[in-house]
Chains A and B, each alone.
Chain A
Amino acid sequence: AQSVTQLGSHVSVSEGALVLLRCNYSSSVPPYLFWYVQYPNQGLQLLLKYTSAATLVKGINGFEAEFKKSETSFHLTKPSAHMSDAAEYFCAVSDKYGGSQGNLIFGKGTKLSVKP
């Protein structure tokens, strides 16, 4: 069965500092991996996804993530945090071959706070 673990339910950084949000996955088949962001009382917006092309994936708003198969990780980074990045971030995994109905398995989320 697939699963996602996000290390750290809360992360706080200063404006301009590096953002690092950790995600480890478990999957018996090659996975698709996703990062979504959720602002308060809103739905989820896709930041980026890994679909087995380049292992370093660039997304919106300056975020990027690197797929590391040996570490089963897909950590999200941004070189310089902005106040507007404060939100909750979810890592998700999907079965590459369309099994599990193609539905997403989400981690519990990491709430990012950005201090001025």
Chain B
Amino acid sequence: DTGVSQDPRHKITKRGQNVTFRCDPISEHNRLYWYRQTLGQGPEFLTYFQNEAQLEKSRLLSDRFSAERPKGSFSTLEIQRTEQGDSAMYLCASSFGLAGDTQYFGPGTRLTVL
């Protein structure tokens, strides 16, 4: 079990630029979640995938955000035209997908928008 990995760990960008983050879940996990965590807050749900299907998106996920999970393996989260308010830690988690299953979190990608 290699755990959930995320790349990059840190990203600094200028306002208006596009950024893309990658998440590699635990290999046998069907479900993959994205969360956002801002300073002093708990993680907030953004979206989740069941295999390759994106089944739900939070209203926090504006149309500048897009996520994919091709072939039900790794996932990418892209933010277009970044804004300073997008600065946060982006966390990925995976699980088997049954209610109450433990979600295993990656180390996160910290985004700073200048």
Q: List residues of chain A with CB under 8 Å of any chain B CB.
A: 4, 9, 32, 34, 36, 41-46, 49, 51, 90, 92, 94-98, 101-109
Contacts and interface: CB of A to CB of B under 8 A. Distances in A.
Interface stretch (B42-50, B69-77, B78-86): B42-50
Interface in B69-114: 91, 93, 95, 97-108, 110
6 contacts: A90-B43, A94-B100, A101-B56, A102-B99, A106-B43, A109-B41
A108 B101 CA distance: 22
Interface of B: 4, 6, 31, 33, 35, 40-45, 48, 55-56, 91, 93, 95, 97-108, 110
Contacts of B95: 102
Contacts of B55: 101
Contact of B42 (A43, A46, A108): A108
Nearest to B56: A101
Contact of A46 (B56, B102, B108): B102
